[in-house]
Amino acid sequence: MPTNRSSNGRSRSVPKVPTGIAGLDEITAGGLPRGRPTLVCGGAGCGKTLLALQFLAQGAAQHGEPGVFVSFEETSAEITENASSIGIDLGRLAARRRLVLDHVHLDRSEIAETGAYSLDGLFLRLGEAIDSIRAKRVALDTIEMLFAGLENDAIVRAELRRLFTWLKGRGVTAIVTAERGVEGLTRHGLEEFVSDCVILLDHRVIGQHATRRLRIVKYRGSRHATDEFPFVLDDRGITVVPITEIGMSDRVSTQRVSSGVAGLDAMLGGRGYYRGSGVLMSGTAGTGKSTLAAQFAAAVCASGQRCLYFAFEEFPGAIVRNMNAAGIDLAKGIRRKRLQIHAARPTACGLEAHLTTMTRLVNEFRPAAVVIDPISNLTTIGTIGEVKSMLSRFMDYLKSRGITFLGTALTVGGHNPEATDVGVSSLMDTWLVLQNNDVNGERVRVLQVVKARGMKHSNQVREFLLSDHGVVFLDIERDTEGRVLTGARRSAYQTHPSGARGRSK
């Protein structure tokens, strides 16, 4: 393909129209080709019609570009009802003359293979609709219905070429939807060759979870992402996650953010985590991971910034109640709209749907920090490799925006404490391991910093308590022989050093 270059020799992309669909404009580097047709193909239920409707609605409402939607299958009333499911009021747009809805009924029995089949009638009807509101955008849904009774491939291909040429001649930015074929992208196997841009939608079921994917098959005159992208279709329309692989962001900060615990900050060079870094807290049940995560969230809110908390184990009310008992007031952050807790069961959807939802919430809430508690619960819906891939993509997304990430991970008792069930420790900048040590019939909580990239950190194993005022780290206490004392032994030694000497042996 020849390169389109400007006068200074730099490559130049074709003019584009923003779709207004979250994520799609990013992976297409600006939107769809202006004044050219785009083919959107896929199987039943993959979201073709809703993508076309969202494209028209966004153009009419946000970009001052009226649109025409022509349906060859569903009536205007059915289309209007379908659009309302994603919050689009087509009736209102039509009343304001920002949109024209037209249903063209086609009867297969009336289509004869005479060799004289022509789309001239459609061109006349569509042209009048475009002129009536000076439309800039057009959507045709679906193209198969135009040729439902034809078996002559020569006629079909000739008319398809005429259709795309006519759309270009009118200068409208068009979306034409088509059903996916058995062997090719579409049933007729030609549309992808006459379209300037081809988008493939896919709806598959993996491990009993439905997953939707989008791929830009081709885009003439423009760079574009070529991998598959997960997307969700919910009551707010289509949202595409513009992340495909582990990326390397060069947005690095030297600023620090407090962990919310003075003793832990001291172990991390006295200043806490690096802003925009990834932090992992792993340990067995009851070691205090969630409490430390909540105290970090509370500290972010207290600094005047926002924190987004993803809970995959408890409901928001239970988290607030439990942390309040430990002297951590999360309710204050919620009231001030600095803390948002999003609770979901991991099994509610697949990994890609979770990734898409989490990314969208980050875009909407714009937090300074994100907490996931616990990330290990995601292994109930995916393999360790799949979970690691999903989290690495999400972390890279956060890092590119300077957002600090903290995740907790459950390890099973008896396993190596310096290992996680999700295998993401290598992705993290800081890794904290929490343990419950059995000392003289008493369980003692301790924490150690396994790694903290880019900072001098403590190599000590520190005891901490879950008090009425949050997490409190205790100073290291040694007996006269230099042995570290913890729990009841510490208390006894501090009260009676001489009497505790013998009991500490």
**Following DSSP, what letter does each residue of 427-441 receive, concatenated?**
G-SEEEEEEEEEETT
Taking the C-alpha atoms of residue 464 and residue 251, their distance in angstroms, rounded to an integer, is: 34
Which residues are registered as beta bridge partners of 215? 200
CA 148 to chain centre: 38
Query: Residue 36 in contact with residue 197, Cβ under 8 Å?
Result: yes
Check: CB of residue 219 under 8 Å from CB of residue 28: yes
Q: Give catalytic status of residue 26 as yes or no.
A: no
Rounded CA gap, 360 and 209, in Å? Answer: 20
Full 3-state SS string of 258-284: CCCCHHHHHHCCCCCEECCCEEEEEEC
Is the separation of the CB atoms in 122 and 104 below 8 Å? yes
Rounded Cα distance, 373 and 394, in Å: 15
Q: Are 133 and 69 in contact (CB under 8 A)?
A: no
| Catalytic residue chosen out of the listed positions 73, 228, 386, 477 | 73
| C-alpha–C-alpha distance, residues 118 and 158, integer Å | 9
**CA 151, 153, 155, 161 torsion: positive or negative?**
positive
CA of 159: how far to CAs of 125, 176, 270, in Å? 16, 14, 72
Terminal Cα-to-Cα distance of the chain (whole angstroms)? 80
DSSP result, 230-253 = EEEEETTEEEE----S--------
Q: Which residues contact 53 (CB under 8 A, 6 or more apart)?
A: 69, 79, 82, 83, 86, 88, 90, 139
CB 221 within 8 A of CB 205: no
Strand positions, DSSP E, 307-378: 307-311, 339-343, 369-373
10 Å CB burial of residue 361 (0-12, 13-18, 19+) is middle
Active site residue 313: yes
Output the six-digit token pair for 21. Answer: 């669909």
Which residue(s) pair with 218 in the sheet? 198
Closest to 389 in 3D by CA, of 418, 350, 361: 350
Catalytic residue among 144, 313, 314, 477: 313
- What are the catalytic residues? 73, 313
